[in-house]
Every structure is written in C-alpha cells, then in structure tokens.
Structure 1
C-alpha cells in the first residue's frame, strides 16, 4: 500500500539517516548543552539517558509502528488506530504547525553567524551586544530567516527519495564527523585567566559528567526531570507526528527493532558529544559563570570562547555554525515534511503545490515571529510564572503543553484501548524478534501516563 504523500525510503539506511536527521537538530546542538550546564551536568545526563531507554524507546516504537501499519499521516492515522480518536491526530498536527513558525527563525540566526565567521569578523560576534543588535534589527533577521526557510522548502519540494533521503545520507555522516572532531579538540584546551587560574578541557569534562547534587530539592529535581523530558520530546521528534509520517514511508521489510536502536544511538551520541564539545570549552574560557548563560550559550557565550582561542577560533567558529546549520536544516525539513504530507492527504493536492503554499504561509508567520524582537515586542506572562516573547510563547505552547498532552493521550490509546499487542505485532513483522516487548507493554500502560500527567501539570504551572 503506497503512502498518499507519494514516496518511500529506499531502505533501512536511508530511513535511519532521515529519521536521525529529524531527531538530530537544534535540540542536540543548542538545547541539550545549555540544559546540562543548568541542571547539574552529570545529573541531567543520567536522568536523560534513563528516560531515553525507557520512555523514548517506548514512544518511538509506538509512533513508527502507527505510521508503517496505517500508511497514513498523523491526522488520519489515529482515526484508523481507533475510531473516534481522530482528534488526537489534529492535536499532533498542531505541534509541528506551531514549531514551524519559529524553527526557521533560529536557523536564520545560525546562517547570520556563518556569514560573520566567513568574513573573518568573528571578533564582532564576541561582543555581548552583537546578538541582541542582530535579532532586533529591522531587516537582517527577516532575510536570513527566509533564506533558511527557502533551503528547507527546496528539499521537501524534491520529495522523499530525491530530497529528504538524499540530503540526509550526505549531511548526517558529515555532521557526526564534525561533532567528534570539535569534541576531541575541546578536551585539549587550556587557558590561564587574569587571576592566574588555569582551567583545562579535562576539568570541564568532569563538570559535564559528574552529577552536581549541591542544593538539590524535590522541586528542583522535578524541574530537571521536566527539562530532560522536554529535551527528549524535542530531540527525538516525539509527539510531533514526524515519526508517524516517516514511519508511513518505511518499507515492510525494514527491521524496525534495529532501526529504532540506531536512531536512538545516533541522536543520543550527537547530544552527548554536543555537550562534550561545548561545556568543556565554555568552562575553560569562562569558568562556572559561563555555564549559567542558558539559551544564550550558543549565540552569546560560544562566540566569546572562539574569540579567546585566537586565530584558530575563527575557523572553529565557522565549522561549528556550519554543523549547527546542517542539524537545524534536517530537523526543519522533517517538520515541514510532516505538514506537507498531512495537507496533501487531506486536500488531495500535489507535493509541489502543497510545499509552495505552506512555504508562503510560513514566510509570513515566521516574519511575524522575527519581528517579535522589535516592532511586535511583547512580554506575555505564562502560567508557569515566566514571561515570554512571541518565539518563547510558540515554544512553550508546542513543547511545554501540546507535546506532553499528545504523549499522554497516545499512551492511553495504545496502552489501554487498542492494547500494546497492536504495536508489538508490527514490531514483530517478518518474524523479527521484539525482545523489549514486555518492557514496552509495562511502560506504555503503567509508567508513561502518570509521568506525562505530572510533567503536563508542572509545565502548565499547576504544580
């Protein structure tokens, strides 16, 4: 049965690299390191890895199985799994629809930094005011956003095999090599500050890997758990409909058990290595104070680190932001592909026409988000007590509210209504052995729902 989006992955390698490309993105390169730095280094790492091999594996298996078994996009897939549950497909569709409004904006920021380092002006990027001046400018962020959106649209326009699979097979191995290279380089760094204190990359490695339990309370532990789970959602493309869409492109003979393990290994490896290449470098040149820079770690703190490296810093900075651009592009492609596949299925339109229409709509939407830092600047109070600009608001709604809700309802649907056997049968297609089926059944029924309830309540400020 062919997918209505009109394409299939040619085999297991193409599928794994495309799915890993969706999973490996800004969540790995940007979000994971700053959360690890904020949440006690090794403590965050341990919690994240535990959630990955339990919850992440469970939800990834469920979503890919739903996609391959129904051969439909998320909106229609859930209605096939269980009549009357089409609303869950609509909720799932809203997640990438909202994320797409701002993902290309951040991608545009990365492109700007690439041009800065290409021109040899890395010292300018090290100025603390550089990033703020750029995102509040009238035209520059809009132009870079549209360029990044255009690159994303071009890949989706070309289709599954010629666009998504072909680009992923090239980008992902290059990305992995760059991440490994910079990670090893970070461990060799050493710097003596004005006070005569020498810090090394290996000392930064200890900060990253050894759990910091100082001042840990139940509330702070719950926040770290929430951060790790939100990171897992964002990083693994869970509860976005993306893996259901990609699953619908997977051929029947592909071994799903092996594929899921490979996707998880690739995604986690890049996340851990991203922390390894960023946190030791930040520690060496900025100490523990630099570790507390939060979301600004990538765009404010790292350029200062590259500048402190001297002449080689310009080259390292360029390579880093090129790598970040590759990661952002593969993820943004997966988001737009999910939206495109769903709209093609519902409207019966062609891929090219659908891609062009969606690109035009998101050119307008992302422009509004860009202007949220200047002409449309607002500070909106969120239920969790924080304040948000337009981009922060979109991120909060998609990752903080909708993703936990979608994951909760999906776990209830698979675990209690259609029963875990529905997924297990798909995982054991062609006589494959699903060795983790007992763990899967236990997780999807008894652990995933209560965890999602707690995280949803915490994220919405009710706890």
Structure 2
C-alpha cells in the first residue's frame, strides 16, 4: 500500500467509520419523511428487502473493489480495465459536488444547536425563522465555516488518528442519543385545541403500520423507487466513499461480516430515527406536521420542542448534538474521498492536499450560501420542481450521477470482469461468502435493471411520456 495512505487498525474501526459515513442527515429526516409519506410499515418492509439485496450488492462491490485494487475510486476502475477508467472520473464528481453543499447544511444544523445552547429555543420555532436565517448574507457563512473547519481538522489528522478515533468516540454516543430521544418521544402526550388527544404510541403505530389503502401498481413502483433512492443516501454507495474506505481495509478483515454489520447499524439508526421523529411530530401536530426536507428538521421539530415546555430546550440540545455528529461523520467521509483521490492525482502528502481540498470546500460552500441571497435564482429540474444552487448540485449528484454510476458499475462487474473477480476478494484468507449466489444474480441482472430505471426517472423521461 502507498505509504502516504493510512489504514484502519482493525475491523471495528472500519465498521464504525463506514457506518459513520452512511449515517448522516438523510437518516435523520429523509427516512422518517418517506416512511410517513409512503405507507409507514409498507415503506419500511420494502426498504428492508432492498437493504438485504441491493444494499448488500452495492456495498460489497464498492468495498471489495477498494480493498482488492488498494486504490481510490478515481483510479480503481482504470487499474482493472483502462477502458473503464472514465467510471472512476464520474465517481469522483459525486463527492466533489456533495462537498459544495453538505457543509452548508452542517452549518444550518450548527446554528440551531447554538440557538438551543444559548437561548430557550423559542425563537427558532417562530414562523419564518429558518428562511430568515438562510437568506442572511453572513450568518450562514459563519456557521458553515465552523462546521467545515472541524471536518478539515479531523481529515487532516489522517485515517487512524483522525477518522477512526473520531468515529470510535462519536458513533456509540450518536446511537445512545437516538435511542434515548426515541424512548422519550414514545412517552409524549398532548391534547390539541379541538380536544383530540394523541400519544407517542399513536405516532409509533402511524409509523410502523403498513398502509395499503389506495395501493396501485404505479404507487407501489413510486414507493419502490423512493426506497431505492433512500438507499443511495443511506449507505454512501456509488460515490467513491466505500471504495476509498475499502482501500484502507486490511486483508484479514472478514468483508461479508463487516458489510452486514454496517447495514445493520445504518438501517437500525434509520428505523430508530423514525421512532424518534414521527411520534413526536404526530403528537403535537398530527399528520399535517409531516413535512419534507428542511421543513421537518428546521421548522416542524423546533415547534415540537417549543410545545414541550421546559423540557424542550434540553431535548432540542440533545437532538441537534446528535444531528451535528451525524452530519460530521458523513462530511468527513466525503472530504476524505476527495483528499485520497487528490493524493493519487498529484502524488502529494495528506496535509498539503487536505489544505487544498479545504480551500475548494470553503469557496464553493460560500457560493452555495450566497445562492439564497445575492446569487439567488431558480431553475426548473427534470423532476418537475424548481431549485437554487444547492438543489441543482444535490439533484445532479444524488438523482442523476449516482444511479448512472451504479448502473455502469453493475454492468462492469457483472458482465465485463465477471462476479468471480469480487468473489475472490470476499473469500480472501479463507473467509466465507454465504451470499455468493444472490450477489451474482443481483449484480448481473436485477441491480442493472433497477439502476437503469432510476436513472431514466431522474432524466424526467417517464413524466414526458405520461407514465407518472
């Protein structure tokens, strides 16, 4: 291995770092929102099936490619087949785009944590507070820089002293916070102005009970596609991160066992996050309180904390500490992927490259912040919505590039180099590969079909043809 590169000291460090990458803001707000929107337990059931099949296939492919080639995403594909080197370049684009805005969202979360620490949090629950904050010309930049500087410092310290140590400290704490707040949410009870009383258990039933009402084939396919897109957000696949982390994994690590543990950790956090958020929002606002994206985390939940009275400040602090941790672990993995790739491109040391990537991250994040004020404009997106700079970068990276990369990766592994290439790495040092047959079927047939559908959906072609 290149001496400039580090490695995880053992399987626990790898599992916690990879799980930290996977457990991000998407687990905290996107998974609960989709579960509420797409039939509660029905969405959860479909998602679990996809995690055990597609999730395992995509994670296995990325991590095995990284460990076998001992290279990062930019060069890994080209080292296997020069004709497929372009796939590494496509993969490099994803973290580069995500890096431009992830620290901006991290700054928003940091601002709310600051509010709950220094005030009672009541102001954060007022109508228009979130919009007023993000459209400010200076505050979003200040808090983005605080969040980003912490990220840069951890990546600057390297794999063992930075990423692994941070993950070993943060991930257990993150899990305890999520479980604690989830239990608290289930104990909530509130009577609204119409005299209707709702409890946390009522909200849990809304979350977990499968809703088959009005289910059609078209609706089922939309739920399936929602669950599959969440898989990309949740497991950090098809963006080079897991290839990079795989290149740091030692040969004696049992890959299948580690991958299964990563899936269990990540999916468990997503499920518990739903138990934490949906019952709390339901108790105070009913189904009308369920919003998507920023409105759930930055508008609905602060109102929930305000409605709790004296305990709201304390719960708000715990919640936003937890979300800051989740955002940091994901942002660290994104930056590490860029640093690792650039170390190979420029044949330079970690510290010098880290500073260069840090400057890129700061400049682009400032531009994204200004996209809500001095650089504000709206453009139509293929999914029918309109967006600003942040929305454009998010759409291109997550909705367009990631399904395309997954599709091409499955074609490459399934039909060009053949699944046996991956299987050989999984069986390294006499390790078992119990899901070998399933992996072969998924990577050759099922996954390319689904990835192709997701990619076509991202282009808006189904809507153009009147199929949505």
TM-score under structure 1 length normalisation: 0.98
- Offset at 1:5? 4.4
The answer to whether 1:279 aligns with 2:258 is: no
SS of the equivalent of 1:253 reads coil
Q: Does the 8 A contact of 2:27 with 2:234 survive in 1?
A: yes
User: Contact conserved, 1:4 with 1:344, CA < 8 A, in 2?
Assistant: no
Alignment partner of 1:231 is 2:230: yes
Q: Superposition pairs for residues 35-114 of structure 1, below 5 Å?
A: 35-114=34-113
What residue number does 2:423 align with? 424
Whole-angstrom distance in 1 between the partners of 2:2 and 2:235: 23
Question: 2:466: which partner in 1?
Answer: none
RMSD over aligned Cα, in angstroms? 1.1
CA distance in 1, matches of 2:116, 2:294: 21
Deviation, structure 1 residue 230? 1.5
CA distance in 2 between partners of 1:444 and 1:387 (Å) = 34
Confirm whether residue 355 of structure 1 aligns to residue 351 of structure 2: no
**Which residue is 2:160 aligned to?**
161
1:312 aligns with 2:311: yes
Q: Do 1:239 and 1:403's aligned partners in 2 also have CA atoms closer than 8 Å?
A: yes
Match of 1:409 in 2: 408
SS of corresponding position for 2:149: helix
Aligned to 1:199: 198
Residues 445, 368 of structure 1: alpha-carbon distance in 2 compared, 3 angstrom cutoff? same
Q: Aligned partners of 1:50 and 1:306: how far apart in 2?
A: 34
Q: Secondary structure at the match of 2:226?
A: helix
C-alpha spacing 1:133/1:346, structure 2 compared with 1 (3 Å): same
Flag structure 2 segments of 5+ consecutive residues without an equivalent. 463-468
Residue 371 of structure 1, CA deviation: 1.1
8 Å CA contact 2:32–2:277 kept in 1: the answer is yes
Deviation at residue 75 of structure 1 after TM alignment: 1.0
TM-score (norm 2): 0.97
Gaps in structure 1 of 5+ consecutive residues: none
Give structure 1 regions of 4+ aligned residues with deviation exceeding 4 angstroms: none
| Post-superposition CA distance 1:238-277 (Å, at most 9, x none) | 0010000000000110111110011000000000000110
Superposed counterparts of 1:221-370, under 5 Å: 221-370=220-369
Partner of 1:367, secondary structure, is helix
Within 5 Å, give how 1:129-144 maps onto structure 2. Answer: 129-144=128-143
Within the alignment, does 1:458 sit opposite 2:457 as a pair? Answer: yes
Number of residues of Structure 1 aligned to a counterpart in Structure 2: 462
Is residue 445 of structure 1 aligned with residue 444 of structure 2? yes
Matched with 2:386 is: 387
Any conservation in 2 of the 1:293–1:301 contact (CA below 8 Å)? Answer: no
Q: Does the aligned pair in 2 maintain the 1:3–1:249 contact within 8 Å?
A: no
Task: Give the CA deviation at 1:218.
Answer: 3.4
d(CA) in 2 for partners of 1:3, 1:47: 41
- CA gap 1:393/1:123 in 2 versus in 1, 3 angstroms: same
CA change 1:5–1:223 in 2 (3 A) is farther
Matched residue SS, 2:384? coil
